[in-house]
Chains A and B, each alone.
Chain A
């Protein structure tokens, strides 16, 4: 909760034009936009929550459910599509048993489809928490996801 306040304090007397920037910052801090966050931002900017929600839902960047520890982005840009990114996406979906926009039950992974990450030369691309995996093949999905699973186990055992 207090995280939202610290973000809002950075924007005293903010007007509507700061709305998207504030939402982006809140999402950076909390990982998603909670109901409370939207209401608070609305109060701060003297905008109805419905308007804030309306803006937030318009843009692909904002999400409203808590993401996993590892955010998987599968690129579905043209170059990636031509090189078979749909199969990569399906392999991820099969492996994690979730659809894009969802988070796995253990809270480890969330899956997202992005229009283009701008790394077309490396197509097909999958990014996990900003780490790029180039020239993906459906067969490699399991292996890569397992390295992340290992990573959390390592941290827990420490």
Chain B
């Protein structure tokens, strides 16, 4: 007889004597070739007639190690292998099933209390996981995201049963407020307080919206959570809906995440099947429907009021507040919008209780935070750390330091609304408040590491370019201001050659007013997008003024990124006179006879870099 939980869902337990093979098939895993590995393993199982099950799991977080294969066999602990491409799978399986470890070494083993593998680190000892605390990501990469039974076996839907069975909605709101949980989407407003506003507004119909429109370039936490553990999100949404009294909920998710959409739709179907969603859940009178709305690729739709316009089928432009969405939101009804990570925290908050949850983290910021660590670190991936963990720990311990052991320069946190944090503040303990003091913000949790080869002016320009494209155009400071700021930054990093005096003057005037313009945009824009748009510029100006100065006064890019500021020269000894570069030069600045060394006329060169790219002899040199 199978065990069942409160909702009558059979609990799927592992059979002894059966082999389980797990492959991470999130978007990143598939990108690294996990699909082929899966095929190879399936063939292996068929050929050998194994009593085995191949389980496709979500993302464990170590993007650099994908495709990851894990094996649980012969009553031993689950063991994990990195970079298992299709050709390696069979050899590893041969060895592990025979109880030994071959040439390809595993990276770690789980601590399941089964027989241990000799001389293999446990997951807790493994560098990447050692400093993490996985609450939201507890199941990601470990259970099958398409199986509600496995989620239940991992303790899922207990929190929902607990609140429906024995807590009033007010008690739920209270618990969440006392737990100190704050919005993980960026703003950091107290989740419980927000709910109480909606709870207090009288209306027949209230809505809950899950904001999964993860538009920040450099962030993929929400995708990983939904791909790896969609039922946790559904449970969180049900808890929130119960708390505020909403009977209809939307998941507003990016259309660019097809796999996440597929998994959440499947999870909703399963939940409906077992009566977790639908009418009169557990005979409590509480009903809930969850609908999926696909976003259509507008960054501004991450803003609450713009998002609601988008769901209503309009252009995603923000509205002035008040009225706040909690009072008058979607279809003019009270609406609560919470981020994926906020909602995914809720089952944990209810299960361990607010006392324990509020004991985790710093004074003002409780719990953990998921970050998408990317850029120039050795271990890129998805991490979850306790609030108050230092940046140094994240970059150098979890991230394993800078690629190719180059010099660290800064970390960009919070995407286009956030800022860059320089080396002298690496020991900052990350929470909502501390990040603000150094000019960054939590944002949704994108963390891009930069080394000495990154130009900060170029980064500022990159974000400005992004923002001015994504500005919805409703209010003037944001629409025009961001465009002007981009022009100024382009001016700073453009070539000094062939410029008229008027253009030079214009450029200099721009430089003088950059900071003032930033302040105006910040204080007069309508929504969060505009109000935070100048942050990347302001924070790089604050921490890396010397780079701006080098660009402006010396007309040099110290990192060698801004192409137009580089000087190109042809090394006479290496040049064979093939004339390839002369043909590719758009301004005919390269002269020279056939089969004789060529040279570049410096005054004519516009610094496009074409010659550097085409030269087969590497004779073009940059300085």
**Interface of A with B (CB < 8 Å)?**
15-21, 23-24, 54-55, 58-62, 76-83, 114-123, 125, 130, 132-134, 138
Contact = CB atoms under 8 A, between A and B. Distances in A.
B316 A58 contact: yes
Contacts of B217: 76-81, 115-116
Closest 7 pairs (CB-CB, A-B): A121-B63, A132-B31, A78-B218, A59-B296, A77-B217, A60-B297, A79-B374
A134 B31 contact: yes
A79 B374 CA distance: 6
A128 B232 CA distance: 32
Contacts of A20: 293-294, 296, 310, 313
Q: Which of B63, B415, B470 has most A Cβ within 10 Å?
A: B63
B153 to A, nearest CB: 28
B257 A118 contact: yes
B136 to A, nearest CB: 17
Q: Which of B218, B255, B382, B463 has most A Cβ within 10 Å?
A: B218
Contact of A82 (B66, B313, B375): B375
B234 interface: no
Contacts of A122: 28, 31-32, 63, 66
A78 B215 contact: no
Contacts of A138: 613
Interface residues of B, number: 55
Task: Tell me what chain B mostly uses at the interface: helix, strand, loop, or mixed.
Answer: mixed
Given A115-B299, A121-B64, A122-B31, A130 B258 contact: yes
B256 interface: yes
B217 to A, nearest CB: 4
A119 B27 contact: yes
Contacts of A83: 375-376
Contacts of B459: 78, 81-82
B31 A55 contact: no
Interface in B254-273: 254-258
Contacts of B192: none
Contact of A134 (B32, B220, B223, B298): B32
Contact of A118 (B220, B415, B472): B220
Q: Which of A18, A76, A122 has most B Cβ within 10 Å?
A: A122
A107 B116 CA distance: 57
Nearest to A16: B313
Given A21-B293, A132-B30, A59 B316 contact: yes
Interface string B346-385: 0000000000000000000000000010111000111000
B565 interface: no
Nearest to A52: B313
Given A55-B315, A116-B218, A132-B27, A121 B462 contact: no
A19 B312 CA distance: 8
Contacts of A61: 255, 296-297
B521 interface: no
Nearest to A130: B258
B430 to A, nearest CB: 18
A125 B27 CA distance: 12
B311 interface: yes
Nearest to A121: B63
B293 A120 contact: no
Contacts of A118: 27, 214, 219-220, 223, 254, 256-257
A23 to B, nearest CB: 8
B487 interface: no
A58 B473 CA distance: 10
A9 B515 CA distance: 54
Contact of B374 (A120, A133, A134): A120
A16 B258 CA distance: 24
Contacts of A121: 28, 63-64, 66, 220, 374, 380-382
29 contacts: A16-B314, A17-B311, A18-B313, A21-B294, A24-B296, A55-B313, A60-B296, A60-B298, A76-B217, A78-B412, A78-B448, A78-B459, A80-B217, A81-B462, A82-B375, A115-B217, A115-B470, A116-B216, A117-B256, A118-B223, A119-B27, A119-B31, A120-B372, A120-B380, A121-B28, A121-B382, A123-B375, A132-B30, A134-B32
